[in-house]
């Protein structure tokens, strides 16, 4: 009997130890800002994974589907903190349910666990290990359950409308500017541009500008659309309306601006439609032309007197004068050599060989006769 | 001896029409043992002239086309392993010749240019642990194309200075071009005979050395070189800002040799200032470094040399 009791105790201990070791070192919890909402109303949900320790071997991969036919899920942020040696990761999201009724949404996270040895191998680069090895466990997170009520509006939230017109009286073809401004919080990203149609009025419309940020209550900010309206006769801008489902009043709300009557005075003449430009027909003279003239003169003066460009290139016209100015045979022969004209070669050869017996006068006479007989051909590129 | 010069010229003229000054320049380089840099656009018979000159002299001639991927060993030679004898043997490069044509020298990178220019200066090549003296005469003619700037390696000033002459080759005259076209159209090719041997070339070099230079002309040449460094002293203040560096002493050395060779080519036994004028541009145009101002205003070294020749008093 005693033996049997001992066996039973061993079995109980074995069962308990198995149970104890099988317990995961983390728990997932869910916090929701509200349980009952309307379609497209924002709900903040927070998933928190609390570990028993610092859990440096664990990596959480939580990438839930962001949009499907049942909901839109937008991330608000992730907070990872360690308090009293225990790590907890919080994933904050804003959920917009799309369908009415009792809705439940299931999400999963991938819990990845590595080992000290894997980290060591990877850091040291042992056996060409480039990354940690993980053991992955897919974990089902607590289900989000929402009681979603229906409504018929395309917008949900809490908004205010402000419509302004810059003037009520204009001349024909003079534009008036209409500014539609919506402020508040809700599903701003669903806001559609307004199409304005007024008989006999040309409507120039800008694309609606959205300036908002995601908060736990949805999108918060403003939306603005601007119009320019040009007409030839009096016209009326009907009240601008914006209907939405107000989540505070829990009813449909219709925002409505005032009606704008625009009085259009007599039409401009054709010339008056143009901007205030100078008369082109009399543009043959302008005092501004003097600027160009002075700039040109200044450039010439600077170039001529201030910059002092040195022209060391010779003018060919001066060749005869240079010949006449030479005072010795050698100087003259040198000049002929530098000239490079092959017709002077026999002369150079002849007078150079004569040495001191050479007559400068005779040489000049022969050169002039050659020059006058024909134009000196340029010997470009033969200057070896 | 002057007849031999005429014979060389007439042999070269069998395949080259005109370009007399380039031929004179090459002959001066050959007689003075100076290397020549020839600059000209493609199609001006630079290579043909050098080839013809080599054949008429009966000298060994080799041509190397410089390319961006050329290596120094492609020119100088290298040690290669001989598996039959289980030893390294030396394979001499094309530089081992009398006349070397370095075609488009500025297409090869600086290390190749440097390797060649070392041979030009020392006339000796060291491969592995063995040094080889060049077979004389050793004469390098390098060509470069001035119109292309991309993909070329400009020769630095220190290396340009090692070339005795820089010949700028221009277009032929209309008559010469007509003659060239006719010759090619008729398909007439004449064989160039070797009219001068190594011994006769040596004798010509000796004759050139004996050409007399008067002291006045010697001083005149030094004045010219000095004027490139201090133009203001010679009343050339207007060109002083255009010259960054004047001609080096190597110009004076080369000028003394070149004017003698020029007088010899012209059949004279003495040098006159005219000979100096004939060679001044070729000697100095690549050795004067222009300033930024000169380049901005499009002034060339040739124009500055003319100004200097006109300003320095001629004896």
Strand bridging mode A235-237 / A260-264? antiparallel
Higher pLDDT, A314 or B298: B298
Q: Which of A333, A334, A336, A351 would you mutate first to test chain B, the one with the most B CBs within 10 A?
A: A334
Average pLDDT, chain B: 84
* pLDDT the model gives residue A143: 93
Please identify, among B164, B199, B234, the residue that sits at the C-terminal boundary of a domain: B199
Q: Do B188 and B41 fall into the same domain?
A: yes
Which two structure tokens, joined as six digits, stand for A61? 């991969």
Chain A CB contacts of B167 under 8 Å are 384
Question: Are A259 and A239 contacting, i.e. CB atoms less than 8 angstroms apart?
Answer: yes
pLDDT tens digit sequence for B9-54: 888 888 878 778 888 888 898 888 888 998 887 777 788 888 888 8
Q: Do A134 and A188 fall into the same domain?
A: no
* pLDDT the model gives residue A43: 92
Distance CA B69, CA B89 (A): 24
Interface of B with A in 159-218 (CB under 8 A): 167-171, 173
Distance CA A225, CA A202 (A): 16
Contact A330 B315 (CB under 8 A): yes
Alpha-carbon separation of residue A205 from A285, A307, A378, B264 (angstroms): 41, 58, 72, 93
Who's near A111: CB < 8 A, 6+ residues apart? A26, A58, A59, A60, A61, A136, A137, A138, A139
Which two structure tokens, joined as six digits, stand for A319? 């060749």
Higher pLDDT, A230 or A305: A230
Nearest to B52 by CA among B99, B89, B15: B15
Q: Do B157 and B300 fall into the same domain?
A: no
Across chain A, which distance is largest between two alpha carbons, in Å?
156
Q: Do B163 and B223 fall into the same domain?
A: no
Any B CB within 8 A of A330 CB: yes
A363 SS3 class: helix
pLDDT tens digit sequence for A191-202: 888 888 888 888
% of chain A beyond a pLDDT of 70: 83
Q: Do B188 and B224 fall into the same domain?
A: no
Q: Do A235 and A327 fall into the same domain?
A: no
Closest CB from A337, A381, A384 relative to B282: A384
Q: Do A30 and A130 fall into the same domain?
A: yes
How far off is chain B from A295, nearest CA to CA, in Å?
Answer: 23
For residue B194, pLDDT over 80 is answered with yes
Residue A328: count of CB within 10 angstroms of its CB: 14
Any A CB within 8 A of B272 CB: yes
Q: Do A224 and A168 fall into the same domain?
A: yes
Strand bridging mode B243-245 / B61-65? unpaired
Any B CB within 8 A of A311 CB: no
In a domain, B204, yes or no: no
Contact A310 B25 (CB under 8 A): no
Please identify, among A149, A165, A194, the residue that sits at the C-terminal boundary of a domain: A149
Q: Do B185 and B287 fall into the same domain?
A: no
Instruction: Tell the burial category of B64 from Cβ atoms under 10 Å away from its Cβ (0-12, 13-18, 19+).
Output: buried
Alpha carbon dihedral A381, A384, B2, B6, in 10-degree steps, equals: -20
Nearest to B41 by CA among B123, B147, B114: B147
Higher pLDDT, A127 or A259: A259
Distance CA A264, CA A168 (A): 8
Higher pLDDT, A147 or A365: A147
Beta-bridge partners for B99:
B61, B139
* pLDDT the model gives residue B11: 84
Please identify, among B165, B199, B233, the residue that sits at the C-terminal boundary of a domain: B199
Please identify, among A270, A299, A324, the residue that sits at the C-terminal boundary of a domain: A270
A221 SS3 class: strand
Contact B314 A313 (CB under 8 A): no
* pLDDT the model gives residue A278: 53
List phi, psi (to 5°) of A253: -125, 135
The DSSP call for residue A370 is H
Q: Do A46 and A118 fall into the same domain?
A: yes
For residue A317, pLDDT over 60 is answered with no
Give the pLDDT mean for A143-148. 92
Contact A383 B302 (CB under 8 A): yes
Sorting pLDDT into bands at 50, 70 and 90, what band is B57? confident
Closest CB from B22, B168, B309 relative to A334: B309
Give the pLDDT mean for B222-237. 88
Alpha-carbon separation of residue A241 from A50, A160, A163, B153 (angstroms): 49, 11, 10, 76
For position A83, which CATH number holds? Answer: 2.60.40
Q: Do A160 and A142 fall into the same domain?
A: no
pLDDT tens digit sequence for B68-118: 888 888 888 888 887 777 778 888 888 888 888 888 888 888 888 888 877
Distance CA B255, CA B221 (A): 7
Sorting pLDDT into bands at 50, 70 and 90, what band is A297? very high
Task: Name the residue with tokens 């204009």.
Answer: A170
In a domain, A34, yes or no: yes
Sorting pLDDT into bands at 50, 70 and 90, what band is A384? very low
Give the pLDDT mean for A101-117. 89
CA of residue A340 relative to chain centroid, distance: 65
Which two structure tokens, joined as six digits, stand for A229? 């309206």
Closest-CA residue of chain B to A383? B168
In a domain, B137, yes or no: yes
Chain A CB contacts of B299 under 8 Å are 312
Any A CB within 8 A of B295 CB: no
Chain B CB contacts of A352 under 8 Å are 266, 268, 272, 274
Distance CA A16, CA B177 (A): 112
Q: Do A168 and A245 fall into the same domain?
A: yes
For position B160, which CATH number holds? Answer: 3.40.50.300
Sorting pLDDT into bands at 50, 70 and 90, what band is A382? very low
Beta-bridge partners for B61:
B99
Any B CB within 8 A of A168 CB: no
Who's near B187: CB < 8 A, 6+ residues apart? none
% of chain B beyond a pLDDT of 90: 4
Sorting pLDDT into bands at 50, 70 and 90, what band is A28? very high
For residue A88, pLDDT over 60 is answered with yes
Task: Name the residue with tokens 């070269």.
Answer: B12
Closest-CA residue of chain A to B309? A334
Who's near B203: CB < 8 A, 6+ residues apart? B1
Higher pLDDT, A306 or A337: A337
Q: Do B184 and B113 fall into the same domain?
A: yes
For position B276, which CATH number holds? Answer: 1.10.8.80
The secondary structure of chain B as a DSSP string is: -HHHHHHHHHHHTTT--S-HHHHHHHHHHHHHT-EEEEE--TTSSHHHHHHHHHHHHT--EEEEE--TT--HHHHHEEEEEETTTTEEEEEE-TTSSSEEEEETGGGS-HHHHHHHHHHHHHSEEEETTEEEEPPSS-EEEEEE-SS--TT--PPPHHHHTTEEEEEE--PPPHHHHHHHHHHHHHT---PPP----HHHHHHHHHHHHT-B--HHHHHHHHHHHHHHH-GGGGT-HHHHTTEEE---HHHHHHHHHHHHHHHHHTT-SB--HHHHHHHHHHHHTTTSEEPHHHHHTT--HHHHHHHHHHHSPP-
Q: Do B250 and B299 fall into the same domain?
A: yes
Closest-CA residue of chain A to B294? A310
How far off is chain B from A352, nearest CA to CA, in Å?
Answer: 7
A45 SS3 class: strand
Q: Do B31 and B178 fall into the same domain?
A: yes
Sorting pLDDT into bands at 50, 70 and 90, what band is A376? very low
Who's near B54: CB < 8 A, 6+ residues apart? B60, B61, B98, B99
Chain A CB contacts of B219 under 8 Å are none
pLDDT tens digit sequence for A29-83: 999 998 899 998 899 999 999 998 888 888 888 889 988 999 999 988 888 888 8
Q: Give the domain extent around B191.
A: 2-199
Chain A CB contacts of B147 under 8 Å are none
Q: Give the domain extent around A343.
A: 316-373
pLDDT tens digit sequence for B140-181: 888 887 766 666 788 888 778 888 899 888 887 788 888 878
* pLDDT the model gives residue B33: 84
Please identify, among B170, B199, B228, the residue that sits at the C-terminal boundary of a domain: B199
Chain A CB contacts of B315 under 8 Å are 330
Residue B218: count of CB within 10 angstroms of its CB: 16
Contact A310 B170 (CB under 8 A): no
Contact A384 B273 (CB under 8 A): no
Please count the structural domains in chain B: 2
In a domain, A86, yes or no: yes
User: Across the beta sheet with A36-38, what order do the strands follow?
Assistant: A36-38, A144-149, A101-105
For residue A107, pLDDT over 90 is answered with yes
List phi, psi (to 5°) of A378: -70, 135
Please count the structural domains in chain A: 3
């Amino acid at each position: 009997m005693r033996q049997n009791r001992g066996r039973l105790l061993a079995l109980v201990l074995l069962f308990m130890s198995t149970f104890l070791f099988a317990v995961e070192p983390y728990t997932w919890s869910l916090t929701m800002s509200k349980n009952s909402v309307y379609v497209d109303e924002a709900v903040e949900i927070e998933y928190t994974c609390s570990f028993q320790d610092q859990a440096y071997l664990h990596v959480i991969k939580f990438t839930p589907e962001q949009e499907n036919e049942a909901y839109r899920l937008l991330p608000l942020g992730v907070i990872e903190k360690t308090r009293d040696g225990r790590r907890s990761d919080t994933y904050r999201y804003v959920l917009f349910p799309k369908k009415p009724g009792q809705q439940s949404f299931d999400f999963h996270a991938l819990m990845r666990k590595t080992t000290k040895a894997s980290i060591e191998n990877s850091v040291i680069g042992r056996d060409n290990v480039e990354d940690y090895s993980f053991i992955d466990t897919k974990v089902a997170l607590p289900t989000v359950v929402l009681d979603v009520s229906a409504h018929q509006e395309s917008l949900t939230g809490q908004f205010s409308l402000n419509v302004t017109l810059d003037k009520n009286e204009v001349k024909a073809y003079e534009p008036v500017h209409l500014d539609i401004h919506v402020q508040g919080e809700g599903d701003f990203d669903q806001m559609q541009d307004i199409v304005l149609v007024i008989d006999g009025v040309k409507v120039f419309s800008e694309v609606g500008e959205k300036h908002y940020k995601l908060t736990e209550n949805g999108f918060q900010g403003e939306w603005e659309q601007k119009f320019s309206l040009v007409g030839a006769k009096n016209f009326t801008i009907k009240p601008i309306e914006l209907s939405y489902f107000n989540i505070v009043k829990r009813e449909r709300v219709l925002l409505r601006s005032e009606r704008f009557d625009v009085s259009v005075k007599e039409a401009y003449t054709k010339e008056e439609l143009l901007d205030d430009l100078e008369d082109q027909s009399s543009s043959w003279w302008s005092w501004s032309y003097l600027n160009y003239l002075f700039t040109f003169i200044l450039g010439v003066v600077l170039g001529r007197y201030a910059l002092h460009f040195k022209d060391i290139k010779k003018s060919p016209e001066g060749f005869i004068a240079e010949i006449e100015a030479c005072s010795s045979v050698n100087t003259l022969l040198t000049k002929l050599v530098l000239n490079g004209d092959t017709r002077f070669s026999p002369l150079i050869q002849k007078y150079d060989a004569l040495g001191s017996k050479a007559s400068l006068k005779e040489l000049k006479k022969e050169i002039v006769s050659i020059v006058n007989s024909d134009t000196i051909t340029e010997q470009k590129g033969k200057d070896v | 001896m002057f007849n031999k010069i005429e014979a060389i010229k007439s042999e070269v003229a069998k395949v080259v029409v005109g370009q007399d000054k380039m031929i004179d320049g090459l002959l001066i380089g050959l007689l003075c043992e100076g290397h020549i840099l020839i600059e000209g656009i493609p199609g001006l018979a630079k290579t043909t002239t050098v080839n013809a000159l080599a054949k008429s002299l009966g000298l060994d001639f080799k041509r190397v086309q410089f390319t961006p991927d050329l290596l120094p060993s492609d020119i100088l030679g290298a040690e290669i392993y001989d598996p039959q004898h289980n030893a390294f043997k030396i394979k001499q490069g094309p530089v081992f010749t009398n006349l070397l044509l370095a075609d488009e020298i500025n297409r090869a990178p600086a290390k190749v240019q440097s390797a060649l220019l070392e041979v030009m200066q020392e006339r000796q090549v060291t491969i592995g642990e063995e040094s080889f003296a060049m077979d004389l005469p050793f004469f390098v003619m390098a060509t470069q194309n001035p119109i292309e700037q991309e993909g070329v390696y400009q020769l630095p000033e220190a290396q340009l200075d090692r070339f005795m002459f820089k010949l700028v080759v221009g277009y032929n005259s209309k008559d010469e071009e007509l003659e060239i076209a006719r010759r090619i159209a008729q398909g007439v090719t004449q064989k160039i005979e070797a009219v001068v041997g190594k011994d006769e070339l040596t004798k010509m070099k000796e004759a050139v050395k004996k050409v007399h230079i008067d002291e006045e002309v010697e001083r005149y040449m030094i004045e010219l070189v000095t004027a490139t460094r201090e133009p203001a002293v010679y009343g050339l203040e207007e060109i002083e800002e255009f010259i960054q560096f004047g001609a080096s002493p190597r110009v004076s050395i080369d000028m003394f040799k070149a004017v003698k060779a020029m007088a010899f080519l012209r059949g004279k036994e003495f040098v006159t200032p005219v000979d100096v004028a004939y060679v001044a541009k070729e000697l100095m145009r690549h050795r004067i470094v222009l300033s930024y101002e000169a380049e901005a205003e499009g002034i060339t070294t040739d124009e500055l040399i003319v100004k200097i020749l006109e300003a320095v008093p001629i004896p």
